[in-house]
């Protein structure tokens, strides 16, 4: 006899609750395969319980209903969660860690100084794979000095910042042009620190136009306002290069 069971699962990262985010990040922290993660999420979020193996399939329970499903059908069903294989297209984050509340996911109304600090830490993490840098980011992102995020929460921070960078790159494509990063290449920490400091100083100089008295004002500027100005300057620079190409 054929049975029809109606289930509902999230269709995108942006639909996930804090509890669902914690669940998926804990699975990622356990280094499970994509198929395993999607299977666990499907069963968890659809409130389906696996009772036992039944021939080539499984006996499952959904509410008061019990039914048998083949491994093939289950394997096809998890494709509804294929979006898990991709990074979020816009920032999502766990809203609280303990009692610490997260700042705005898209950095709206957040001082540019906090963006620069976190981005330096993130770039450092990509280069060194030093997970303590994600912990330092948490202190800013959750405005809680000394906060100690667990493995799942550090993964959440990585996903949050990656999605934020993607959003900003789409919003300010001239200024934030993608730069290839070899995450397997552990660089000299001294050289990395110098490189990141130079990049940060260049952005500050661009906004202050060399006037050191304006640095505090620039660092306190809203992140999106600062990005808008840097994007405008990048476009002006591109236009000048088109009009007056450099000759070798």
Q: Strand 48-54 and strand 65-70: pairing?
A: unpaired
> How far apart, in Å, are the Cα atoms of 208 and each of 55, 63, 110, 172, 226?
71, 62, 19, 19, 11
Regions in the chain scoring below 50 on pLDDT: 179-189, 192, 248
Compute the distance between CA of residue 45 and CA of residue 8 in angstroms, rounded to an integer. Answer: 8
- Give residue 197's pLDDT: 53
Geometric angle at alpha carbon 27, from 18 and 124, rounded to 5°? 85
Residue-wise pLDDT tens digits, 184-239: 444 444 554 555 556 656 666 666 666 666 667 778 889 999 989 888 888 877 77
- Give residue 30's pLDDT: 93
Cα 96 versus chain centre, distance: 16
Compute the distance between CA of residue 207 and CA of residue 219 in angstroms, rounded to an integer. Answer: 9
Q: pTM of the predicted model, to two decimals?
A: 0.82
Count how many residues are written for the chain.
248
Compute the distance between CA of residue 16 and CA of residue 12 in angstroms, rounded to an integer. Answer: 7
Compute the distance between CA of residue 221 and CA of residue 161 in angstroms, rounded to an integer. Answer: 20
Contact assessment for residue 103 and residue 141, using Cβ atoms and an 8 Å cutoff: yes
Long-range own/partner contacts, residues 107-112 (CB < 8 A, 24 or more apart): 107/164, 107/223, 107/224, 108/222, 108/223, 108/224, 109/222, 110/222, 110/223, 111/219, 111/220, 111/221, 111/222, 111/223, 112/218, 112/219, 112/220, 112/221, 112/222, 112/223, 112/225, 112/226
């Amino acid at each position: 006899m054929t049975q029809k069971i109606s289930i509902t699962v999230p269709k995108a990262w942006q639909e996930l609750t804090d509890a669902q985010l914690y669940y998926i990040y804990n699975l990622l922290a356990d280094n499970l395969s994509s198929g395993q993660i999607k299977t666990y999420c499907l069963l968890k979020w659809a409130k389906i319980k696996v009772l036992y193996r039944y021939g080539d399939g499984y006996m499952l329970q959904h509410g008061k209903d019990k039914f048998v499903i083949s491994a093939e059908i289950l394997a096809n069903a998890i494709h509804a969660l294929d979006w898990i294989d991709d990074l979020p297209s816009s920032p999502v984050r766990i809203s609280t860690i303990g009692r610490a509340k997260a700042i705005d996911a898209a950095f709206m109304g957040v001082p540019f100084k906090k963006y620069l600090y976190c981005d330096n830490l993130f770039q450092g993490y990509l280069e060194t794979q030093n997970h303590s840098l994600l912990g330092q980011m948490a202190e800013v992102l959750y405005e809680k000095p000394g906060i100690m995020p667990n493995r799942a929460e550090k993964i959440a921070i990585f996903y949050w910042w990656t999605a934020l960078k993607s959003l900003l790159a789409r919003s300010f494509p001239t200024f934030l042009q993608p730069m290839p990063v070899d995450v397997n290449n552990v660089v000299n920490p001294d050289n990395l620190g110098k490189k990141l400091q130079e990049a940060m100083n260049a952005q500050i100089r661009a906004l202050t136009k060399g006037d050191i008295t304006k640095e505090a004002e620039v660092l306190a500027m809203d992140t999106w306002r600062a990005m808008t100005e840097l994007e405008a300057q990048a476009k002006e620079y591109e236009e000048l290069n088109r009009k007056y190409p450099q000759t070798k």
